[in-house]
Each structure stands twice: as C-alpha cells, then as structure tokens.
C-alpha cells in the first residue's frame, strides 16, 4: 500500500494539470497579498487633511444642533410608524469621533481570519479539481484497466489513489497558508498594527485550512471516480453551489445549518454566524413585523458534518469501485 501510494504521488506530481493548478494558486495568493498591501496603505497627506476638515465640520454641526435635533425627534416620534424600534436608539445623535473619519488602520488580527478563509476557498477548489482530474482521467483513457492487471486488488488501488490525492495537497496548503500569514504580518507591521494578535487562533485556522484542502482533494477523487469525467465532476459541484447553496438556501433559511458552505465556514473559522427572519403579526395593532435573529453554527457541528460527509463519500466510492466494471 505504501509503495502504491508513492507511485500515485509521483504520477500526480508529473501531471500537467497539477502544475497548472498549483501555479494558479500561487498567482491568486500573490494577488491577494497585493490587494492587502494596497488596502493597508495609509491616506496621503492631502486625504488626511480633507478627512480632518470633514471631522471638524461634522463636530461643529453636532455641537450646535444635536440637542435640538434629539428634541425634535422625540417630539415627533410615532411608535406605529417605527414598529420594533426604540426611540432612545433612533433619536440618539452620538458625538462624531476623529477615528471615524478617514481610513482605519490595518490590523493583522482583523485581516488574517478573512484572508485565510479566502485562501481556504481557492485551495479547496484547486484540490477538488486536481483530485477529480487525477482519477477521472484514468477512466477516460482506459489506463485504470491496465493498472488493475498489474495490481488486481482494487481496494489497494483505490486506497492509494485517495491517500495520494489528500497527502499531496498537505504541503501545498502549508506553504500557501504560511505565505499568506507571513506576508500579511509583514504588510501590517510596516503599514498598520500587529498588536493584539492571538497566534494560537491564527495557527489553528491555518491548520484547519490545510485539513479542508486535503479533504477537498479526497472528495474530488471520489467524485471523479464515481462520474468518471472531470467536466461532469465540476458540473455537479457548480450545480450544487447554484441550486442548493444559493437558491435553496436563500428561500429556506432554516436549512442553513445543513448547507455545506456554512459548515465549511464553521470549521475553518471555529464558529460562524447565520441569520433568520422571525416574522409575526403583532397582537396590539395587527402589523406584520419581522426581526432578524443571529444564530451561531459551532465548530463542532461543522467538524462532524465535514467528517461524516467525507467518510460516507469515501466508503460509497469504494463500494462502487469494487463492484462496477471499469470499462
């Protein structure tokens, strides 16, 4: 099994689409860091002066009229016209602050979770695409039949291919997450702030990105084996994203905890949030009022969801490969 996996790893490395996929990931990573650098740059002196002028003007306006504005708002308050709102919140005119004007300082602790999450998406896609092509190409070309004459024990062949797809992407994901983390740190250290960084959270997120990348490659290999065509595998994934995640998920909000995308985010980010609309008819005036409720999807839920999904997919593909004719 170890020798077979080593052979599959060398075959996967030698494929042209693998190198193209890795090159694409590197280019996207470089572009991501370039955009981060552009966004982290502070305002020019002229822009800073303009922001200061706007702040001083707004503060002067607030100092002269905020008491009068609050009094007029309270006097004209109509609860029926603002169902569910509180007068104290609507009629509050907070004092303008200088930090609210201009461009906020780039902070490493705030940027890195989103950047690692973005990296997890294109690493997942690359792993899935290359994994699906790696297995499906052998069925399209008929090479799998020749390979089984050399090693007729199908489960060993199947296991080596799945293992090779997952293992190959581990160092790739480690390098990419390391480059994103280090690059972002250097950018914010020069142009922003690195204070308040919890490195245990950063490293934990990076490790989870590596895990999801390997899982994506394994699932790609499984789907490629079942459908036997790379284009079909990509079509199934795109269909799921459009029909289930986008259309079905937007209409049936209560199903969000069972969508793949939400559980993926919950695992990578160690908890994520989603929103539900709670609508009801008020008993006092009969108005139909909706309020938005924030829910938390836990890391544990996402981990179990992805783990079970991957395990079931691997077992199902193994049964199919064991029983189905390869021709």
Identify which of 283, 279, 117, 291 has the alpha carbon closest to the alpha carbon of residue 212.
Answer: 117
- Sequence-distant (≥ 6) Cβ neighbours of residue 163 within 8 angstroms: 5, 8
Q: How far out from the chain centre does Cα 43 lie?
A: 29
Tens of each residue's pLDDT in the chain, 327 residues? 778 788 788 888 888 889 999 999 999 999 999 999 988 887 666 656 677 667 667 767 767 666 777 777 777 666 665 655 666 666 776 777 766 666 677 889 989 999 999 999 999 999 999 999 988 888 777 777 776 777 778 888 888 889 999 999 999 999 999 999 999 999 999 888 888 888 999 999 999 999 999 999 999 999 988 888 888 888 888 888 888 887 877 777 778 888 888 999 999 999 898 887 777 766 665 666 677 788 889 999 999 999 999 999 999 998 888 877 766
- What stretches of the chain adopt beta strand conformation (E)? 272-281, 288-297
Helix (DSSP H) and strand (DSSP E) numbers for the chain: 12, 2
Q: Tell me which DSSP letter residue 193 carries.
A: B
pTM: 0.82
Contact assessment for residue 281 and residue 319, using Cβ atoms and an 8 Å cutoff: no
Q: Which residues pair with 111 in a beta bridge?
A: none
């Amino acid at each position: 099994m170890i020798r077979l996996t080593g052979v599959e790893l060398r075959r996967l490395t030698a494929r042209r689409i693998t190198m193209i996929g890795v090159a694409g990931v590197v280019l996207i990573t470089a572009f991501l860091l370039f955009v981060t650098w552009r966004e982290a740059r502070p305002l020019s002196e002229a822009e800073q002066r303009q922001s200061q002028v706007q702040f001083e003007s707004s503060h002067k306006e607030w100092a002269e009229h905020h008491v009068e504005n609050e009094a007029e708002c309270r006097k004209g308050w109509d609860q029926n016209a603002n169902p569910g709102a509180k007068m104290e919140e609507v009629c509050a005119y907070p004092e303008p602050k200088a930090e609210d004007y201009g461009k906020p300082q780039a902070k490493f602790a705030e940027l890195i979770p989103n950047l690692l999450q973005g990296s997890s998406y294109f690493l997942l896609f690359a792993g899935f695409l290359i994994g699906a092509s790696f297995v499906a190409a052998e069925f399209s070309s008929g090479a799998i039949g020749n390979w089984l004459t050399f090693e007729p024990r199908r489960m060993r062949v199947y296991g080596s291919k799945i293992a090779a797809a997952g293992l190959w992407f581990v160092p790739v994901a480690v390098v990419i997450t390391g480059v994103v983390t280090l690059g972002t740190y250097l950018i914010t250290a020069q142009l922003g702030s690195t204070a308040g960084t919890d490195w245990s959270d950063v490293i934990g997120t990076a490790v989870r990105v590596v895990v999801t990348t390997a899982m994506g490659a394994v699932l790609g290999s499984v789907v490629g084996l079942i459908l036997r065509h790379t284009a079909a595998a990509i079509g199934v994934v795109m269909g799921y994203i459009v029909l289930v995640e986008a259309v079905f998920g937007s209409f049936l909000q209560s199903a969000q905890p069972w969508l793949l995308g939400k559980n993926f985010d919950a695992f990578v980010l160690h908890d994520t949030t989603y929103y539900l609309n709670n609508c009801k008819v008020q008993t006092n005036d009969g108005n139909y009022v909706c309020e938005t409720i924030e829910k938390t999807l836990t890391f544990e839920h996402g981990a179990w969801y992805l783990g079970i999904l991957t395990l079931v997919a691997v077992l199902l593909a193994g049964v199919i490969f064991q029983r189905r004719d390869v021709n």
